A and B are shown apart, each in its own frame.
Chain A
């Protein structure tokens, strides 16, 4: 079946602009995660959604970052007033229910460049 998809693949924006990054998880997966991969900080957790529970936002670096998950499927990560330090690859992952709930499957990422 189809894997996790993310769009756009690459995004170049100017400092101060808002951006939206989209993630389509694997069909039927109830958990969805966002991570950020940058040269200086490595791979960092940002936020995750599990079913109808309140999301775990503990990794969001500032209040400029927010995420939504509509209808238990597609998720959008929004970065407001982008800064140069937001430049990174943003990775999305999803995991199934049951005994493999721990196994996360990743999308190809969105490379964000803030000029």
Chain B
């Protein structure tokens, strides 16, 4: 069974700083996907970024980028120029390849951006 671990329950940074959230996972699969989801107080889960395991290039979406280390089974999220609206719970998630599959989530990191 796959597992996802987020070792930082809470993090806090000042606005405009860069912050990195950690995620490690365990799987015997070779084909899979990794995701970061954001959940603000509104409760809506919002997809932040997606990585296909067979792609060596790290995914980027505007201020959000990942450091995907397949051999180390590590998938960290970097948020540059952090904004107050980035305050939320962030969940790392794993999905095995081969079509529609369930997501396996980490425990989450509560990120607070301070003015």
Binding site for B on A (CB under 8 A): 30-31, 33, 35, 42-43, 45, 48, 50, 56, 59, 89, 91, 93, 95, 101-109, 111
Which residues of B (38-75) have their CB < 8 Å from a CB of A? 42-47, 50
Report, as a range, how many residues of chain B touch the other chain. 20 to 34
| A42 and B47 contact, CB distance less than 8 A | no
B residues less than 8 Å from A111 (CB atoms): 43
Q: Is the CB of B100 within 8 A of A48?
A: yes
Q: Is the CB of B102 within 8 A of A42?
A: no
When the two chains form their complex, are residues B33 and A102 in contact, meaning their CB atoms are under 8 A apart? yes
Contact A105–B47 (Cβ < 8 Å): yes
Inter-chain residue pair count (beta carbon < 8 A)? 52
Main secondary structure of the interface of B (DSSP, over half): loop
Q: Is the CB of B91 within 8 A of A106?
A: no
A107 to B101, CA, bound (A): 17
Contact of B104 among A45, A95, A108 (CB under 8 A): A45
The answer on a CB contact under 8 Å between B102 and A103 is: no
Residues from chain A with Cβ under 8 Å of B106 in the complex: 42
| Cβ B100 vs Cβ A31 within 8 A | yes
The 9 closest A-B pairs by CB, nearest first: A106-B45, A31-B100, A43-B105, A45-B102, A50-B100, A102-B33, A109-B43, A108-B44, A42-B107
* Contact with A91, one of B33, B45, B104 (Cβ below 8 angstroms): B45
**With A35-B103, A48-B100, A102-B101 in contact, do A89 and B91 touch (Cβ < 8 Å)?**
no
Q: How far is the CA of A42 from the CA of B110 in the complex (A)?
A: 13
